Amino acid sequence: MSELKFEPKIVAFVCTYCTYAGADLAGTSRLKYAPNVRIVRLPCTGRISPMFILKALQKGADGVLVSGCHPGDCHFTHGNYHARRRWMVFRALLDFTGISPERVMFSWISAAEGSKFADLINSVTEDIRKLGPFDQYQQLIKETESPATL
Amino acid sequence: MITQERYRTTVKELLANGSIKMAIGYRLGSTPDRRRPLFIRTSEEADQLVLDSTCMTNLSGYLVTEGLLSDEKKVGIFLRPEGIRSINILAAEYQLNADQIVIFGFDSTGRDVRPLDGRNVGEFSKLLNEIKEHPLQIVKEPLHWRIEKMNAKERFDFWQEEFSRCIKCYACRQACPMCYCRRCIVDSNQPQWINTSSHTLGNFEWNIVRAFHLSGRCVQCGNCDRACPVNIPLRLINQRMANEVLDGFDHFAGLSPTQEPVLASFKKDDTETFIL
Ligand code: SF4
Ligand code: SF4
């Protein structure tokens, strides 16, 4: 088992109007990017509750990416401004309690930025690969005896 | 003692002339250093009022008891400055009408208790602004510095150690005046966001969520700290979050009854150094 190469599991929460469309563009442009990311599409970054991030970790993710429209581009005009404040506070909280901010990342990717999406996924995957599996958290998951389903 | 006697008289007067229907204060508790809440409706009950430096509990949570304020009559309450801040937050979050609250303010240094001037929450704004300007003492706690110096791994271990003792009694939630939701996220099971058993993972999630929901709302009254049966330093996390919103958004919770809640508002130029 230990011979197996570590493949990071990354969960991406994206908004449907920008980042998901950007991911779509990456796909239709036949851009190749790391297959380590599981994308969850939501109506808006404002809908991305911090609970989602915790849930992803609870299911065994090594890293989480949250991404939405650039400021000013939100389909609902200001969902991403609300989200930005929330992330800032939540990020500080995770940092203080020992979840390294390198494991939970945030980005703005528009519908036109297919190549930014592909590049970001690649670089995020590499970063998490370097950090290694989130052993501390996965140890906790094991203690609960519930399966990490990711 | 003088403060206590004066307040007893004031409460009696206000009850007698009908300006308040009830006053919420403190009475003797089961041990010499404990106080329990007292709900004063009559002049005899007012004689049981105790006000000294051991009256620590922030009583403002009782104000959102269902039906208490619905008759639009006024209720008096004994509050330290933190308690006054929580009245402002409750009013800003539309949980109560601040004009219905008659405040009997007090504060203490050492064993001395002194009254605070004012009855309506608006009259305390100068005092609260001064508190904002003075760095909070708890930041200087040695434990806080210790954590700041740790790396992520050490912090994780530190908090796991602390949270592993949690028994999910939710006393911290019940004791907190800001935790007034009828249905808390941990009570929801469709979907179930947080593991309900008290293993360390569930405890970690619970404590993170609790701290997040109190970010920018906690007033540092310490009710949670005192309620926790296993002495998890809960206030430390809340303090860290309070500093975060103060530094990031210049937000000090509970300055006025019309203050916008920090996580329900935004500025277009909020900092975003961390976004890729
Ligand atoms: S979190 Fe604790 S210190 Fe903060 S308002 Fe609630 S009970 Fe008071
Ligand atoms: S009061 Fe302490 S033991 Fe009880 S749920 Fe809160 S943190 Fe856990």
- Domain limits of chain B? 2-120, 142-251
Q: In angstroms, rounded to a whole number, what is the distance separating the alpha carbons of residues B29 and B45?
A: 15
Choice among A78-87, B96-105, B130-139, B146-155 with the minimum mean pLDDT? B130-139
Question: A97–B271: do the CB atoms touch at under 8 Å?
Answer: no
Task: Determine the distance separating the centroid of ligand 1 and the alpha carbon of B193, expressed in angstroms.
Answer: 22
| Residue B132: its H or E element | helix B125-133
Asked which of A109-113, B126-130, B137-141, B163-167 is least confident by mean pLDDT, the reply is B137-141
What type of residue sits at position B217? R
Residue A1's pLDDT is what?
46
pLDDT tens digits, B88-103: 999 999 999 999 999 9
pLDDT digits (tens, 9 = 90+) for B208-234: 999 999 998 999 999 999 999 999 998
Contacts of residue B11, defined as CB under 8 A and 6 or more positions apart, other chains included, come to B20, B23, B25, B40, B46, B49, B76, B104
pLDDT in tens, B53-88: 999 999 999 999 888 999 989 999 999 999 999 999
Thinking of the domain A10-144, which architecture would CATH place it in? Answer: 3-Layer(aba) Sandwich (3.40)
Query: A84 and B275: CB-CB below 8 Å?
Result: yes
User: Whose structure tokens read 């200087």?
Assistant: B140
**Does any ligand 2 atom lie closer than 6 A to the CB of residue B194?**
no
Is residue A108 within 8 Å of residue A74, measured between CB atoms?
no
Phi and psi for B206 in degrees, rounded to 5?
Answer: -60, -45
Cα-Cα-Cα-Cα dihedral of A38, A40, A41, A42, to 10°? -160
Å between A49 CA and nearest CA of chain B = 11
**Pick among B201, B213, B232, B251 to test the A interface (most A CBs inside 10 A):** B201
For the cut 60, the answer to whether the pLDDT of residue B171 exceeds it is yes
For every residue of B155-220, DSSP letters joined together read HHHHHHHHHTT-----HHHHH-TT---SS-GGG--TT--S--S-SHHHHHHHHHHHHHHTTTT---
Distance of alpha carbon B5 from alpha carbon B58, whole angstroms? 21
ipTM: 0.88
pLDDT at B139: 53
- Identify the segments of chain A with pLDDT beneath 50: 1
Token pair listed for B3 = 């403060």
